[in-house]
Amino acid sequence: MRKWVIHEILADAALSHASVPVISGSERFTYASLYDRSLRLANSLSRQGIGKGTVVGVMDVNSHRYLELKYALSMLGAVIHTINFRLPWDDLVFTVKHAHDQWLFVWDGFGELASRIAQEVPQVVWMGSDRGAGYEDFITAGHSELPQAACSVEETDAYSIFYITGTTGVPKGISYSHCQMLTGSMQIAHHLGLHDTGAWLRADDVMMPLIPFFHIHGWGVPFIAPYLGAPLVLAEQRGPAEQLTLIEEHRVTWSNMVPTQLFMLLQQAGSKDPNLAHVPLKVLTGGSSLSTGLAEQAHRAGVTFSLIYGGSDQLGTAISVAPGLDGAARLVRLSTHMTAFPYVRVEVRNQFGTSVDSDGQEMGEVWVQSPWIPNGYVDNPEESKRAFFDGWFKSGDLAVRYPDGSFYVMDRLKDAIKSGGEWIASSVIESVISEVPGVKAVAVIGQPDPAWGERPIAIVEAQSTTTRENIRQHLDAAVARGRLAKFWIPDSIRFIESMPLTSAGKIHKAALRQMGSVSSSDLG
Amino acid sequence: MRKWVIHEILADAALSHASVPVISGSERFTYASLYDRSLRLANSLSRQGIGKGTVVGVMDVNSHRYLELKYALSMLGAVIHTINFRLPWDDLVFTVKHAHDQWLFVWDGFGELASRIAQEVPQVVWMGSDRGAGYEDFITAGHSELPQAACSVEETDAYSIFYITGTTGVPKGISYSHCQMLTGSMQIAHHLGLHDTGAWLRADDVMMPLIPFFHIHGWGVPFIAPYLGAPLVLAEQRGPAEQLTLIEEHRVTWSNMVPTQLFMLLQQAGSKDPNLAHVPLKVLTGGSSLSTGLAEQAHRAGVTFSLIYGGSDQLGTAISVAPGLDGAARLVRLSTHMTAFPYVRVEVRNQFGTSVDSDGQEMGEVWVQSPWIPNGYVDNPEESKRAFFDGWFKSGDLAVRYPDGSFYVMDRLKDAIKSGGEWIASSVIESVISEVPGVKAVAVIGQPDPAWGERPIAIVEAQSTTTRENIRQHLDAAVARGRLAKFWIPDSIRFIESMPLTSAGKIHKAALRQMGSVSSSDLG
């Protein structure tokens, strides 16, 4: 019997899609050659004592090496810890210690950071360099038969561990089995293939994941692409300008990225061509809300998109679909309304645990059930108890629900502002402000207020031509059109040189709050 | 945590696709109303003592009742025995006894057959009539909350039993768990959504399954349609003329059927309109090979199609795909080359269990591995041992393999003809003969031959204008073009009034062989 274990995906692809290309930077592979390399790697690592349950940290950009490790470690029943190299140093060390990484595979391109983290793990393999025991040596030394260990890997064995990093507290580890990671990833592909989304996926798409592989395995693309037999382009360390070159050179048709990456890519493209590329690009985006401004900018550039809802502690849960919709209505729906995957149950509940009305008005927290959600965080009973309850995962996201069952995530609960006992969704105000010409980034945060508890203020990064008055007028117009309640209008608008970002590329609201209640550029 | 159990599909659909219509004959339901009815039914049946492991036989046409029972019995952990009402009487009784059916839900429309089979089962519920305890009474009496029993239904619990009926021997029972039935069914939908097939499936298709629900649950459509939220049309007892009306009336875009049904539908349409319907129809066909003649006829009628390979003892395994192909090449590939689903491993092996060359020439038996193939037949160690070996299912199908990993099923091993030590694939000869104008059906069978062991003869049902000479000329032309080996040409061609069919609607070759070696109309 064949089992739902990760490495079977590449075994299948090597047979059925043997010559389909996988581009990694300037190197060219095929699914057959990558499978061969993964087998050799697995056999070499097996001889080194890596086996069932061995935790192996990997710190790399999106490369063929990372792909090979994802499959080779699966064959051995080892657990891959996908290290988030953008974490602050203390958190980075915490995750490596907490996961008990026994081996570290690290890309030399990280330089000093790589050298430092290498000292924290017993066994280190350098990738992309001549330092110490080299990665390519393992591949050369191994033979290309399926290792014996592969037969005893079970669907319910742990496949991977990674960490959720909030803006407060220590990182929380979460572990997924082969079957959980597989079904959670594939439901994304299935939904994109079968439903009317803006990130329509087919086996003949050329896929270039820009979500880093340490972030929920690049939202599953390293598994989805060989599962489909789709050509795969890995951008490695390349930035927006070179990503654009890769898109054009390899005729990439499908990508995933957070809104910030989409914004940077569009900025880059804007300077040379009205369209992003000469082929239509379909983008799956998520991780933070997509502003109306960015949605329209993407639309003008010929990029179609859908939004995915999920996270490290729930995997993918919902994707925006727009059956039968065109034009502006389609754009709005794809930017906002999330439809849960089959076998995922989403509820929006108030503080008493009762479902809110499906009226698109009442806000509550998103609770999620699915076959692939674990029961808690690794060795963290306190946080587990807070977030996992009675088979449900309490997401910490604030949403409204619509009569058709779809939901709209307005904010993180901790980012939402409670003013006079009512919720104000910062992301909705941010979306309105993003439409003002010249606005590059905007964050709305709560500020303590003696009368109302909290009041919103807006922090804006914009071109010098954009004035506070432009923004005020636009907000007033939004109130007049019913898009915002009048009491949602921020008490002040402050300009900032450049927005602080988290390790995941999102706006670092906690840092903004810490900057104090008055910014030097505040003249409002 | 949510589990991969069957009834969750309809629970999801009732929430996310509440008002999507389900047409059953002249009645109209929605996924919400069907879920409500299924809940009521389950609660009533629970009170009657139906629970985990109770085997319940269902004998019905494709109706809303059948759909409701598929879900209500899932909620109770009961096992649904989908009774093949086309079986010969002795076999029918055998299956009901062998499965230990404790209850029977039977449609009154079967008349005398229903009355007879009802005497073989302890508890009987009549459907669509006023006889005895009525089906609708159960629905009226139940309340619409999820029964307590549903919580203890596990993914690995048996969900269904059904029988494989060869043309020889007793029927063989096979049992599938919730997870096996679910994943096996959904891989069909996923493959049709993500790959370039002729039976492309999307959530906005209007689905009308013509494969009877007793046959591998209509190839999974009663699960696939609500999973997608696709409108569903159930044809109940309606024949080709009325099926055509349903297609036009409800703008059906997707259907499944065996080649014989496709032929009858096209015959029906041919008498009124050059096109099958006013909407393009996509058809998934299989169960027997698709002749070139029928493929071209479908193409002319504006019907696109793909072939599925599989069976009751392996579920779906492979579907024909034609990425990047157009015109005749596309038609040929979609009619012949099967590509295995991800996680399905297909090998073509010779009598020594060794893989044949992937040269499109050497024939061998199709061996299949997948996560959903059981270990054997129910209470039948002898047949289990013959067909299930070391995790593989030996299909009894004869195929060749191509360098790209696809395979072409030429024949059933038992239908193939061994002449002078070489295999002759009857279905390939049948396909060539089917192209001759006026030929309605054709079967090529082996006839004992003192010199060669066996020699092929062709049995043909044709219009009176079609002559033996027409067929001979066409066969000679096929030899000249390299489509057939010269020694494959049948020794004689015999005409028959009407072809005998099996309970599954396939040509009954065993019956043809029994008719003796000389037919009264044989003048060749």
Shortest CA gap B434–chain A (Å) = 32
Shortest CA gap B392–chain A (Å) = 7
B339: nearest CB among A16, A204, A373: A16
Distance separating alpha carbons of residues A419 and A449, to the nearest angstrom: 9
What is the tens place of the pLDDT at every residue in A343-380? 999 999 998 999 999 999 899 999 999 999 998 999 99
What is the tens place of the pLDDT at every residue in A76-98? 999 999 999 988 898 899 999 99
- The two structure tokens encoding residue A500: 């602080």
pLDDT at B520 over 60: no
- Judge whether A196 is closer than 8 Å to chain B, CB to CB: yes
Predicted local distance difference test score (pLDDT) of residue B295:
92
Across residues A208-224, what is the average pLDDT? 97
Q: How many CB atoms lie within 10 A of CB B361?
A: 10
Q: Which phi and psi angles does A163 have, rounded to 5°?
A: -120, 140
Q: In chain A, what residues touch B189 (CB-CB under 8 Å)?
A: 190, 194
pLDDT at B439 over 90: yes
- The two structure tokens encoding residue A252: 């990439």
- Judge whether A16 is closer than 8 Å to chain B, CB to CB: yes
Q: In chain B, what residues touch A373 (CB-CB under 8 Å)?
A: 1
Distance separating alpha carbons of residues A425 and A410, to the nearest angstrom: 6
> Which residues sit opposite A306 in a β-bridge?
A284
Q: Which phi and psi angles does B198 have, rounded to 5°?
A: -90, -5
CA–centroid distance for A119 within its chain: 29
B1-187+220-228: CATH topology: Rossmann fold (3.40.50)
* A123-127 sheet: strands from edge to edge: A123-127, A103-107, A55-59, A79-82, A158-164, A172-177
Distance separating alpha carbons of residues B203 and B191, to the nearest angstrom: 13
The torsion angle over the Cα atoms of residues A102, A108, A114 and A119, rounded to 10 degrees, is 50
- Judge whether B403 is closer than 8 Å to chain A, CB to CB: no
Contact A345 B1 (CB under 8 A): no
CA distances from B287 to A517, B273, B415, B507 (A): 72, 27, 14, 11
pTM of the model: 0.89
Contact B4 A343 (CB under 8 A): yes
Of B215, B186, B192, nearest to B205 by C-alpha is: B192
Predicted local distance difference test score (pLDDT) of residue A520:
40
Predicted local distance difference test score (pLDDT) of residue A167:
57
pLDDT at A114 over 90: yes
Distance separating alpha carbons of residues B409 and B401, to the nearest angstrom: 9
Predicted local distance difference test score (pLDDT) of residue A518:
43
Q: In chain A, what residues touch B196 (CB-CB under 8 Å)?
A: 202-204
What is the tens place of the pLDDT at every residue in A241-259? 999 999 999 999 999 999 9
Q: Which residue has the higher pLDDT, A28 or A268?
A: A28
Q: What is the CATH number of domain A342-414?
A: 2.30.38.10
Task: Kindly indicate the confidence band of residue B288, based on its pLDDT and cuts at 50, 70 and 90.
Answer: confident
DSSP sequence for A332-351:
HHHHH-BEEPTT-EEEEE-T
Contacts 24+ apart (CB under 8 A), B395-398: B395/B311, B395/B313, B395/B314, B395/B365, B395/B366, B395/B367, B395/B368, B396/B365, B397/B309, B397/B365, B397/B366, B398/B363, B398/B364, B398/B365, B398/B366, B398/B423, B398/B425
Percent with pLDDT over 70 in chain B: 95
Q: B422-514 belongs to which homologous superfamily?
A: ANL, C-terminal domain (3.30.300.30)
CA distances from A374 to A313, A387, B342 (A): 8, 11, 25
Q: How many CB atoms lie within 10 A of CB A224?
A: 26
Contact A15 B405 (CB under 8 A): yes
Q: Which phi and psi angles does B94 have, rounded to 5°?
A: -55, -45
- Identify the CATH class of A415-514: alpha beta
Do B160 and B82 meet the contact criterion of CB atoms below 8 Å apart? yes
Predicted local distance difference test score (pLDDT) of residue A517:
46
Give the burial class of A107: count Cβ atoms within 10 A of its Cβ; 0-12 exposed, 13-18 middle, 19 or more buried.
buried
- Output the CA torsion sign for A39, A40, A42, A47: positive
Do B83 and B58 meet the contact criterion of CB atoms below 8 Å apart? yes
- The two structure tokens encoding residue A161: 């561990």
What is the tens place of the pLDDT at every residue in A329-349? 999 999 999 999 999 999 999
Do B73 and B48 meet the contact criterion of CB atoms below 8 Å apart? no
- Judge whether B39 is closer than 8 Å to chain A, CB to CB: no
Query: CA A194, A200, A204 angle in degrees (round to 5)?
Result: 95
Query: CA B315, B321, B327 angle in degrees (round to 5)?
Result: 140
Q: Give all strands (DSSP E) within B254-293, no chain letters.
A: 254-257, 281-286
Distance separating alpha carbons of residues B362 and B341, to the nearest angstrom: 23
**Residue B186: CA count within 13 A, CB half-sphere:** 26
Q: What is the CATH number of domain A1-177?
A: 3.40.50.12780
Query: Hey, is B431 helix, strand or coil?
Result: helix
- Judge whether B389 is closer than 8 Å to chain A, CB to CB: no
Query: Hey, is B255 helix, strand or coil?
Result: strand
The residues, any chain, with a CB within 8 Å of residue A321's CB and separated by 6 or more, are A191, A195, A196, A197, A306, A333, A334, A337, A339, B203
- Judge whether B251 is closer than 8 Å to chain A, CB to CB: no
Looking up tokens 């005749």 gives B328
- Judge whether B52 is closer than 8 Å to chain A, CB to CB: no
- The two structure tokens encoding residue A9: 């995906």
Q: In chain B, what residues touch A18 (CB-CB under 8 Å)?
A: 405
Q: Which residue has the higher pLDDT, A160 or A410?
A: A160
- The two structure tokens encoding residue B447: 């006839």
Do B517 and B524 meet the contact criterion of CB atoms below 8 Å apart? no
- The two structure tokens encoding residue A422: 């009512």
Of A284, A79, A33, A50, nearest to A181 by C-alpha is: A79
Domain ranges for chain B, please list them: 1-187+220-228, 422-514
The torsion angle over the Cα atoms of residues B358, B362, B364 and B370, rounded to 10 degrees, is 10
Q: What is the largest CA-CA distance in chain B?
A: 72
Surface of A (306-325) touching B: CB under 8 A: 321, 323-324
Contact A194 B195 (CB under 8 A): no
Predicted local distance difference test score (pLDDT) of residue A272:
61
Predicted local distance difference test score (pLDDT) of residue A519:
44
3-state secondary structure B1-30: CCCCCCHHHHHHHHHHCCCCEEEECCEEEE
Q: In chain B, what residues touch A344 (CB-CB under 8 Å)?
A: 2
CA distances from A179 to A3, A4, A175, A374, B185 (A): 9, 6, 12, 11, 18
Q: In chain B, what residues touch A340 (CB-CB under 8 Å)?
A: 12, 16
Shortest CA gap B29–chain A (Å) = 18
Predicted local distance difference test score (pLDDT) of residue B130:
66
Q: How many CB atoms lie within 10 A of CB A145?
A: 11
B340: nearest CB among A8, A16, A324: A16
Predicted local distance difference test score (pLDDT) of residue A439:
93
Shortest CA gap B16–chain A (Å) = 5
Q: Which of A100-109, B134-143, B414-423, B486-495 has the lowest mean pLDDT?
A: B414-423
Looking up tokens 């810890």 gives A81
- The two structure tokens encoding residue B507: 């040509």
- The two structure tokens encoding residue B72: 């209500």
Mean pLDDT of chain A: 92
> Inter-axis angle of helices A426-434 and A468-480, to 10 degrees?
120
ipTM entry:
0.87
Of A443, A524, A429, nearest to A478 by C-alpha is: A429
The amino acid sitting at B79 is V
Predicted local distance difference test score (pLDDT) of residue B493:
95
Predicted local distance difference test score (pLDDT) of residue A117:
96
Q: Which of A310-314, B219-223, B245-249, B267-271 has the highest mean predicted lDDT (pLDDT)?
A: B219-223
The residues, any chain, with a CB within 8 Å of residue A74's CB and separated by 6 or more, are A5, A6, A7, A80, A153, A159, A178
| Cβ–Cβ pairs < 8 A, chains A and B | 105
